[in-house]
Every structure is written in structure tokens, then in C-alpha cells.
A and B are shown apart, each in its own frame.
Chain A
Amino acid sequence: MNTIEVRHLRRVYRTTIGVLRRQTKEVVAVDDISFDVRPGELFGLLGPNGAGKTTTVKMLTTLLIPTDGTARVLGYDVVKQAEAIRPRIGFIFGGERGLYWRLSGIDNLRYFASLYHVDPAVARERIPYLLELVGLADRGQEKFEGYSRGMKQRLHIARTLLHDPEVLFLDEPTIGLDPVGARELRLVIRNLQAENKTILLTTHYMFEADALCQRIAVIDHGRIVALDTPEGLKHHVQDLSVIELEVFGVPPEVLDRLRALSFVDTLSVENREQKQALLIHSPRGSEAVPDLLAALNGLRVGRVLVREPTLEDAYVRLVGGRA
């Protein structure tokens, strides 16, 4: 049996706009997605902001009722058997909220240990172990409000492990962390995987998904556009090369002109201080460079680089250059 089974899951948000003439507006956040997560697997849900990752996690953690479709966690239905799921899962959502600011790290963990029905004797042993695991052993007595963002995220991880759950849902756990903090947190996640926990991780950092996940579902506009191993996803761009052109002040009409070229598969723009990097996927590789430079029509060009595609390029292609 798979640990997580998702079938044709759909979630629509309804909002009303206007005061006198009230209109109902519908936003499809998750649109008919299906996937399975195997026992002990670290499964990634990868997509740009607003793709439907958090909505999916909220439905799987019983916090949100799906509009359509079914989802089962450890064999239990997320709507009808939510009470059976809750003691067996742990979850964290990205950001700093979710713990009590005026309490110390240890007091927060003690409180949640009671709410998770952890036996007091077990909690007394487990809390120092978890603080050690997340690198907060010497900061547990300090108030949560004084923690850095990375420390807060790590305390969230400790909180969600208090009851030793079988399944973990980590929603963008490294968002907003500095590189060192993010690396430390990835190490914690890797250690959890070594403990054979089933983990569903959402992220919009490709390298993070590549480094951690055994399989990745790429989600965009609420739909799964690809589901494969990191190596399998790279095959989506095997036939392409990536051309990086550094330009200064590229106008939108030039971008449109480049996109219209027959040999340009996708084009995305990265802002790098005063300059922009145009990332162009093309089957022609270095042969396409002269035509691209001609299309730039005399615009100032910095560095030009032609390279093999990475997983990030596969992702950019899958989400149509929106990443």
C-alpha cells in the first residue's frame, strides 16, 4: 500500500467581490491531480508560487476539504477519517508563524508534546534529543520571538517530530532562509529520510528538489505537468541546449521577437542587478547564437554561454518559462 494516494484531487476557492453587485469569483488552485507516495520515499512537489503546492499539502494534512477527488494518507480518507490521520502525521508550513512567540523553545515543545499526547516521561527525553537534532540544544531556553528565521524553522521541525510521526509534510521549509540556514535544514531533512520517514516536500528551489527527492511532481497552474525521478525529468530537455545571454536593459518587444524565433523553445529572464540574463532553450545550441545576437538588434550584450541543460532547465521548460 502506498503511504499517500491522491486521485483526481481538485480544490476551487470561491471569493465574492463587490458590495452592491456581489459577484462570486472562482479560482482553481488544484486541478485534477493524481499521484502516489511510496513508504519511506522523499517525494517532491515542485512548482512556482501559486501553483497549488500549499493547497495540496493542506488537503493532505486534513486542514482543507477538497472540492472533488479523493486523497488517502496511510489508507485513511483525508475528509472522512481525519481523526485517524492526525496522530500519525507531522506538518510544517513555511514562514515564522505557528508557534508561541512569548514562550521559550522548550516551553513551546512541552506544550505541543501535551497536545500530541506524548507521554510526559517520553517528552522529557525526546525534547532535548529533538533540540539537538535541529541544532538548537543551547538555545532552547530562549524565547521564540528572539530566534532568527532559520532557528524558527528548525524549531517547527522539532515540533512536528515530537510524536514521531510516520509521514511528514514539509511545505517550503527553507523559504526565506539564508544559504547556511537552508543547507543545515536540508541536512536535517536528509537525516529524517535516513530514519525511513515518508516525506512530502514542496519547494520552488530546483536544486533542493534535485538534492533531496527521489521523485518529483512538477505542478503548474494546479496541474501536474510531469512526474519522474530527477534524472527522468532531465530527459525532458535532453534534446536542447541552454544559451545564456547577459544583456543590459532589454525591452519587452525584443523579448517577444526572440520568443517568436522558430529555434527558440523557451525563454526566461533572470534579473541580475543592472543586467538581465536571458535563458534560452534551443535545439540548435551554439549555432543559434549569431541569429540571437542579430535579433537583439545592437543591444549591449555581456557574457554569452552555451551549456548542457540541468534539472532547473527541465523545470523551466515544463512550467513554460514562468519559474
Chain B
Amino acid sequence: MRSGELRKYGRVVAAAFEMSLRQMALDGFILFTVLVQPLIIALMALWMLRERGGDYAIFVVVGSGMTGLWSSLLFISGNSINWERWTGTLETLVGLPTPMPVIIFGKNLANVAQSLSSMMAGYFLAALLFGYPLRVEQPLLFLVSLAFTVVSFVSFGLIIAPVFVINPGVQGWQNAMEFPVYMLSGFLFPIALLPGWTTPLSYLLAPYWAARALHATSSGGATLAEVAFCWAMMLLFSLVYLFVSSRLFRLMIRKARADATLGMQ
């Protein structure tokens, strides 16, 4: 890709990012998914685990924040193309010179960035309401892990969105996909507590590697090699997701142009 194109697409990503943030800031469902639900989960977890003391609080804060990240990815990024269809803008977007994945990438980035606020909200809840002394043990590694998490979640969103358009039947399972990923990814408790046969499933999920890196660096005690392995897995999955999503987008648009479903509500 030439630098001129990169600049053009960069501007599109920035515009889609800003536009999505403005729209989301006014949407009650999104605010609930991103802020209220993770806070409820954090509140319950902190209450249940209060006997374990303050050391465990950072695990809960990071874990509940990740539940917000996954829920918003599933419900908001997953619906990002269908939302354009419901708004009546999908036809216009497909007819533009900008490839659709670039626009959806900007929207997903805004969604994931906004979802990180649920982690912040959980942090303040634990610190202010429960009075836990919260400390991220390896802040630099934590921030790098957070950056890889954002990349892998945005890439994952680029797969979910076209799949929900190509096969609306899959979207019917949206609710059922929320909690299993919380558990399989080890957001709120280690996957060692789950039956052994579920472990390979966890390894196939980028959110698992994200949770492992974020938990390890926030709670402390992780070696650079361990965390770097998680980063490499997130990067690998992101590349796989981006490759698959480019094909899915092509298929989705071709199918929609053939079946005349772009303008359907």
C-alpha cells in the first residue's frame, strides 16, 4: 500500500473512530454494555471474593473490564455492519471509494477504546467503594499487553461483523456466546478450574491470551518471556483474523450485491 493510500485510509479510520464515539456516547444500550454490566460483575466478584483480601482485587478489576470488552465486541462491533443497514447507510457506504473493512475497523477501534473505560470504572469501584489498594505490578508490560489486546479484539470484531451479516442465524446465538467466552478466556477465574477438555478451546481464543497477559502483568510475577509468548499469540491470531475477515467482507459484499440485500432493513 502506497503512503498516499495509507494517509487516506488513516483519515477514514480517524473519521469513523470519532463518529462512532459521538454516536455511542448517546446510546443507552451501549453505555449499559460498556459501563453498567461490567460494574455489576465487578461488584459481585469483589463481594464474593472479599475474604481473599486486596491482592485479588486487581484480578477482578482487570477481569470485569475484559467482560465489558468482550460484550461490547460481541454486541456492538458484531452489529456494526447491521447497524448501518438499520440506519439505511449501508448502501451508501458500499458505494463509496473506501473499502468497507477500513470503515468498520475505525468503528471497532472506537468501540474497543470506549470499552477500556469499563476497566477504569471497575478500578475506581474497587478502590473507592471497597478501599482496596490497587497497583499494577508491571505497568509497562501491562500497557503493551493492553495495546496487543486492542489489536486482537478489533481484528476479532472484523470477523464477527460480516459473519452476522452473511448468516443472520449465527447472530441468533449472540447472547449464548457472551458468558462461555468469559469463562473460557479466564476473565474472572483461572481456566485451570474448568474441565481439562476445555483448555484447547481457550487456546484458540485471542481473548484468552489477552486475559492471560493482562492478569499476569497486573498481578505481577510474570516473566518477559511468558508475556511475550501471549503477545505473539495475540499477534498471530490477529493476522489470522484479518486474513479471514478480508475474505469474509468480499464474500459478504458480493452476496449482498447479488441478493439485493444491501438496502434491506
Show the binding face of A for B, using Cβ within 8 Å. Answer: 13, 58, 61-65, 83, 86-87, 89, 91, 93, 95, 97-103, 107, 110-112, 114-117, 120, 159, 163
How many angstroms between the C-alpha atoms of A115 and B95 in the bound complex?
10
| A117 and B15 in contact, given A64-B257, A97-B89, A100-B89 (Cβ under 8 angstroms) | no
Task: Check B262–A63 contact: CB distance below 8 A.
Answer: yes
Task: Check A100–B91 contact: CB distance below 8 A.
Answer: no
- Smallest distance from the beta carbon of A69 to chain B beta carbons, Å? 15
Taking chain B's interface residues, is the majority helix, strand, or loop, or is none over half, making it mixed? helix
How many angstroms between the C-alpha atoms of A86 and B260 in the bound complex?
18
From the candidates A98, A102, A114, name the one contacting B22 in the complex (CB within 8 A). Answer: A102
Task: Check A116–B23 contact: CB distance below 8 A.
Answer: no
Show the binding face of B for A, using Cβ within 8 Å. Answer: 8, 11-12, 14-16, 19, 22-23, 26, 87-89, 91-98, 103, 254, 257-258, 260, 262-263
Task: Check B95–A111 contact: CB distance below 8 A.
Answer: no
* 8 interchain residue pairs of minimum CB distance: A97-B88, A114-B15, A87-B97, A86-B97, A65-B257, A117-B8, A115-B98, A65-B258
How many angstroms between the C-alpha atoms of A276 and B96 in the bound complex?
46
Residue of B with least CB distance to A29: B260
Residues of chain A within 8 A of B14, CB atoms compared: 114
Q: 22 A-B contacts, Cβ less than 8 Å apart?
A: A61-B95, A63-B263, A86-B97, A93-B91, A98-B91, A101-B87, A107-B22, A111-B16, A111-B19, A114-B11, A114-B12, A114-B15, A114-B16, A115-B93, A115-B103, A116-B96, A117-B8, A117-B11, A117-B12, A117-B97, A117-B98, A159-B92
| A63 and B11 in contact, given A86-B97, A115-B98, A117-B98 (Cβ under 8 angstroms) | no
Residue of B with least CB distance to A62: B95
Add 17 more A-B contacts to A58-B263, A63-B262, A115-B15 (CB < 8 A).
A13-B260, A63-B257, A65-B258, A87-B97, A93-B263, A100-B23, A100-B87, A107-B19, A111-B19, A114-B11, A114-B14, A114-B16, A115-B96, A115-B98, A117-B11, A117-B97, A120-B11
Residue of B with least CB distance to A92: B92
How many angstroms between the C-alpha atoms of A64 and B264 in the bound complex?
13
Residues of chain A within 8 A of B98, CB atoms compared: 115-117
Task: Check A63–B19 contact: CB distance below 8 A.
Answer: no
Residue of A with least CB distance to B22: A103
How many angstroms between the C-alpha atoms of A62 and B96 in the bound complex?
10
